Structure 1
């Protein structure tokens, strides 16, 4: 994993999560801003997947369990579209809060992936 890119992902996910939760609690239904921000989180996850697949070929292999890492990554990639689908089907303020919760969950998952990739041994 690339350290700065991981922190960028975490920052974008946290900002998206806070924005969506605040907007949802303020009564806003899902809109282009909340869904677009979540789409950016998803795009960054897909880029992370490509980087994670290529990194071992360039000498940057994970120090932790690769299966655990990819399970987190694939789960995060699946979580975002599911939250977006929910927001499109149920257009209430609470689905905007769900978008925020999903983004915050992704931030935690990406941080855990960083730990698996860089900190653990074997």
Structure 2
């Protein structure tokens, strides 16, 4: 995996987390700012998916680490759209909490991907 790509994904995920958290605290609903941040994060996650699939053979460790790496890489691009879809359907403060939790999960899973990749050292 590319370390700069991991940093970009983490920064975008934290930015979406902060925006959604701010919106939840202010009792605001989903708007173009949140959708734009989620879209940028999604593009970065799709790029990360391509990179991780291309380098799947270089994952260190046994089958368990490789399976975890592949599962996280494939699952990650589905998290932000699912959170945004739920936020579109839910018209309360909790919609932004769902987006914030989705962004947090994305950041944690991305960090774990980088951690697994770094084991090859």
| Same fold by TM-score greater than 0.5 | yes
Q: CA RMSD in A?
A: 1.7
In 2, Cα distance between equivalents of 1:36 and 1:93? 19
**Taking CA–CA contacts closer than 8 Å with sequence separation of 6 or more, which of the two structures ends up with the larger relative contact order?**
1
Query: Counterpart of 1:55?
Result: 55
Query: Counterpart of 1:7?
Result: 7
| TM-score (structure 1 length as normaliser) | 0.87
Query: Counterpart of 1:35?
Result: 35
Query: Counterpart of 2:104?
Result: 104
Query: Counterpart of 1:22?
Result: 22
In 2, Cα distance between equivalents of 1:84 and 1:33? 12
Which deviates more, 64-73 or 2-11?
A: 64-73
| 1:88 and 2:88 aligned | yes
Q: Which runs of 5+ in 1 are unaligned?
A: none
